[in-house]
Each structure stands twice: as structure tokens, then as C-alpha cells.
Homo-oligomer: A and B are copies of this chain.
Amino acid sequence: MSLMGQMMHMPLLISSLLTHAARHNGDTEIVSKRVEGDMHRTNWAEVDVRSRKLAQALKRLGCEPGDRIGTLAWNGYRHLEIYYAVSGSQLVCHTINPRLFPQQVAWIANDAQDKVIFVDINIFPLVEKLAPSLPALKHVVLMAGRESMPRETALTNLLCYEDLIDAEDGQYEWPSFDENTAASLCYTSGTTGNPKGALYSHRSSVLHAYAAALPDAMNVSARDVVLPVVPMFHVNAWGLPYSAALIGAKLVFPGHHLDGASLYNLFEQEGVTFSAGVPTIWLGLLNHVKSNNLKFSTFKSTVIGGAACPPAMIRTFENDYGVEVVHAWGMTELSPLGTLGRLKTKHANMTKEERQKVLEKQGKSVFGVDMRIVDADGKVLPWDGKTSGDLEVRGHWVIDSYFNIDKSPLHDGWFPTGDVATIDEDGYMQITDRSKDVIKSGGEWISSIDLENVLMAHPAVHEAAAIAAFHPKWDERPLIVVVKKPGAEVTKEELIAFYKGKIPTWQTPDDVVFVDEIPHTATGKIYKLKLREQFKDHKLPTA
């Protein structure tokens, strides 16, 4: 016989984030660099009104609770309105990455059975081409005013976004429903097999929004001007459209203008204090700032994730520009936040160099998500900063299963991330490899990332990929596939010798092969699966 608390019970709904922003920070700006090229200014109160009108329009179009509504769009205020209108009215907001191969986009839209797709004008040709292969698709909405509608199109079901909004009166109350209802859907990029959908709930998204804003996570407040460089089709821009509403921050959207000059100008014009994105984007921004001898006037802090951030980038940001860099790790299946590199009280008296070492790791977990490392038998491994194992996570915003797939991905109640990592005594996690890329030599693991990083520092090497090759005694031994820099000359023996003293001797690669090109995935990562197939019959000289 337990006793129930006597507290108000209201569901954790995404619409409540927008309602809060509109009521308490109504005039806080939402600024967008539009696909159309101009700047657009609105605020949380207007976004609320227009989102409610859009929810009315979706109902009028025949959408029913649970229907998936696709988006193919850049970061902008209309995409934000769609986020809230769709999830808020009990539909599912399904963001699609327009940079995928067209056949992948079609596969994903069909798997999700998207009933409506919202599309930005410069992505419209893709949808026009794919629409005939999307039988579930009832309506395509062009995210534009009437003046931007195409004069001619093969589509019979094309609608104008602003017309839809203008036709409604906004007399719409956000419905209340079970907080475990699906809110949004995002597919993994799927380097092996088909993409898989993560179906987030209202509850998981709101809890994630709380956690993401904490001082030990993104550390954002109503005093911040937040520019999400990370796309809204990439795990909901790491939840920033939700956290920004929760805290009442000003939002700045860059559209598809992600080059260094465009971003820098937007940062300066709008007083951006916080941003988040992947390393490659920051490389472009830093190059622009450096080559034009510029400074940031308001930019204070950025979270970098999506790929390991080179230590050199962290140092440049901090030492040359006074911008704090927070290294983060997450994934689509984690909404995405898992860990962030923030210090503890115990680090206060460390030297700068020692602190930097701590911060180069992927960080510690924020309350709401826990992690562990296990060996091949599922045995839990110690947190000593040395032992590496398969990284597993669980928590309020971790998936339980994939959309449309019956088989549970969980292991003993934990989600296996597919990453290999160490965790140290203080709970700081460091990714050492993807588990399918790790080279298993006689029961010991060799990190392919470590082997690649060594060779990437060799002056003659343009790109290097380390993969496992068959070995009759050790099962697997490392093989390095190298693309030389144009005009550079280097031998296999020289490269193998280059490893000396940089890694344990037994990890030294057994062979090096030179190729003209290394295959890449649509998201720019080395396509190791293809590479392994290509070299599956490779005979090692040590075999």
C-alpha cells in the first residue's frame, strides 16, 4: 500500500514549452536568414500564434493523431513553427536530411508513411522528383509565400505555407494527451543496412530540454542568443528549438548559409552568445575569422559534437578567440545528448594543460542518462580510464526500440551504442572507436582511430583508413589504406616505421596499401564497410 503524492499532474508536452515561451518571453526575437536570401524577424508570441494556425490547417488537411508529417528544410522560423504545430497537435514531426541520396530520402519517407511533406524552396526540386514514388504522400507544402510558388509543377497536391496560415484564425487550444505519445521521428544515417527511425516522445523531449539547458550541459538562459548551426533535420538540432523555448532565449537561424563569412556576419549582427555544431562547420568559421583578422564580440561558448573535435580546434577557439568549447557526445538514439565535457570542483586547482586533457574527452553524463562499458560477453568493465569496452546507455531520452522494427536493440535493458570507449574514475568517457571498426587481434582490441590519427600527421598522407584484415593466427590484424597527397612519394615501409614509439609495438599495422580514393558515406564519413569488402581477400605479408 503506497501513498500517492498530492501534486498537480500535467503531462510533459512539447506544446507547453511554446506556451511558456509565448507567455513569459513573448517579445524575445526569433531571427532567420531565409532561404529567400533576406532576413526575417519574429518572436515567441508570433511563433505561438502561427503554430496554432498551422495546427488548424493540418487538421483541415485531414491529418489525424499519430500521422507522420515530413520536413525537408533548413534551420528557419517556419521549420520551428512546424516543429510545434505538428507535435503540439499530436502529429509526429519527421525531419528528413535533404543531403541524403534521393533514393534514401524516398526510402525513409515511405518507411515513415509521411502524409504531408513541408519543403524549403531550394529543396523543392528533390520532392517534385520523388513525389511519384511516395504513395502515402497526400500533400506537399512549399515553405514560402505565394510570390515564391512555382508557376508550373508536376505536383497536383502542392500547397503554399503562408496561404495555409492565412486561412486560419488561430482560435486553437493545444490539446492535452499522454506524455508518452510520439512527438518526432528521426532516422539514423544508416551506414550499414537501411536507416532506422528513432521515435521520440513528448516526455523524453521535454526532459531532454531541461537537461540540455543545465549549467553542466549547454548552459543557456534567457540572456543567451542561440544560433543552432546543427541542422534541425539532425536529431532536432540537438534539442535546441525545445531548450530555447524552455529558457526563453533569442534564436538565430542561419538557413542554408553555413559558410564562414555568412555565419560570422550573423554572429556579429545578432549578438550570438552560444552555438552548437559539428567540427567541420567550425573549421570554416575559424578559417574565415583568422584570414580576415576578425574577433568575436559576443560569442562566448559552443558545444561541439557529432564527431570527435580535434584538440587543436578547442585550443584555437579558447586561446585565440576566448570562446569556451564544450566537447559533447551523443547519437540519434539518445535525442541526442549523452555526455558533455565540463569540469568538477576537484579540477579547480589543476594546471590549464591538465584541465585541457580532461576536456578533450567526450565528457560526463548529465542526470537522466547513465552509461557503462561491457566486454564481448556482456560483463561490466571497470571505470579506470584504460579499459575499453562496448559503450551502453540507458535513460529517459534513450530509445527502447526502433520505429517499424520488432526486434529489440537492447542488451540487458541497456542500449548498445556501437561505440567503444573508456570511462575514467571521475566518469569521463572517451570514445576510442566504433565497435564494428575496432581491430580484434588475438582477443585484444586495436583502435582504428588511433592508427589513423598517427598517419594523418605524416606529411605525405592525404587520408588514411585502418581496417581489420584476416590473419590465420590472430584472426584480425591492422591494414592501412592510404591516399597520398598529390605529388608526394612515400613507401609502405616508411609509413610502418612512422608508428614507432607512437603506439604499443604489437598494434603496429601489418600492411599498407595505396589507393587513389577512399570511399565515403553521404555524411562524409569513411565508408569502412565498403572498404572491408574491397579488401576481404587481402593477403597480409605476416600471414
A residues bordering B, Cβ < 8 Å? 1-10, 12, 17, 20, 23-25, 27-28, 64-66, 90, 92, 177-178, 180-183, 198-204, 207, 210-211, 213-216, 219-225, 246-250, 271, 342-348, 364-365, 367, 370, 394-403, 415, 425-427
**Could you write out 26 A-B pairs with CB less than 8 Å apart?**
A1-B64, A1-B65, A2-B178, A3-B66, A3-B182, A5-B180, A5-B201, A6-B400, A6-B401, A7-B396, A8-B400, A10-B394, A10-B395, A17-B367, A23-B370, A24-B364, A25-B344, A28-B345, A213-B214, A215-B219, A215-B220, A216-B248, A222-B343, A225-B345, A249-B345, A250-B345
| CB neighbours of A215 from chain B (8 A) | 213-215, 219-221, 247
Tell me the minimal C-beta distance from A11 to chain B in angstroms.
10
B367 touches A223 (CB 8 A): no
Q: Closest chain B residue to A224 by CB distance?
A: B345
B224 touches A66 (CB 8 A): no
Alpha-carbon separation in the docked complex, A370 to B215 (Å): 23
| CB neighbours of A367 from chain B (8 A) | 17, 20, 210, 246-247
**Given A7-B199, A27-B426, A219-B221, 10 more pairs with CB closer than 8 A:** A1-B64, A2-B66, A2-B178, A4-B182, A5-B180, A8-B395, A9-B180, A214-B214, A222-B345, A249-B345
Tell me the minimal C-beta distance from A186 to chain B in angstroms.
12
Cβ-neighbour of A400 out of B9, B219, B344 (below 8 A):
B9
Alpha-carbon separation in the docked complex, A103 to B106 (Å): 74
| CB neighbours of A2 from chain B (8 A) | 65-66, 90, 177-178, 181-182
Identify the interface centre among A2, A10, A204: most chain B CB within 10 Å of its CB.
A2
| CB neighbours of A8 from chain B (8 A) | 394-396, 398-400, 415
| CB neighbours of A6 from chain B (8 A) | 182, 198-199, 201, 399-403
Tell me the minimal C-beta distance from A69 to chain B in angstroms.
12
Alpha-carbon separation in the docked complex, A346 to B181 (Å): 36
| CB neighbours of A200 from chain B (8 A) | 5, 7
| CB neighbours of A203 from chain B (8 A) | 5, 7, 9
B345 touches A5 (CB 8 A): no
A397 touches B181 (CB 8 A): no
| CB neighbours of A27 from chain B (8 A) | 346, 425-426
- Are A5 and B183 also in contact (CB < 8 A) when A219-B215, A224-B345, A344-B222 are? yes
- Are A223 and B348 also in contact (CB < 8 A) when A8-B399, A364-B24 are? yes
Tell me the minimal C-beta distance from A528 to chain B in angstroms.
28
- Are A344 and B5 also in contact (CB < 8 A) when A10-B396, A396-B10 are? no
Cβ-neighbour of A199 out of B1, B5, B247 (below 8 A):
B5
Q: Closest chain B residue to A92 by CB distance?
A: B3
Alpha-carbon separation in the docked complex, A364 to B246 (Å): 13
| CB neighbours of A204 from chain B (8 A) | 5, 7
| CB neighbours of A344 from chain B (8 A) | 25, 28, 222-223, 248
Cβ-neighbour of A247 out of B182, B183, B214, B346 (below 8 A):
B214
A180 touches B4 (CB 8 A): yes
Tell me the minimal C-beta distance from A191 to chain B in angstroms.
22
Q: Closest chain B residue to A364 by CB distance?
A: B24
Q: Closest chain B residue to A398 by CB distance?
A: B8
| CB neighbours of A248 from chain B (8 A) | 216, 344
- Are A370 and B20 also in contact (CB < 8 A) when A8-B399, A199-B6, A215-B213 are? yes
Identify the interface centre among A9, A202, A365: most chain B CB within 10 Å of its CB.
A9
Q: Closest chain B residue to A1 by CB distance?
A: B66
| CB neighbours of A211 from chain B (8 A) | 210
| CB neighbours of A7 from chain B (8 A) | 180, 199-201, 203-204, 396-400
- Cβ-closest 5 pairs across A and B: A5-B201, A3-B66, A215-B221, A24-B427, A7-B204
Alpha-carbon separation in the docked complex, A415 to B6 (Å): 13
| CB neighbours of A23 from chain B (8 A) | 370, 427
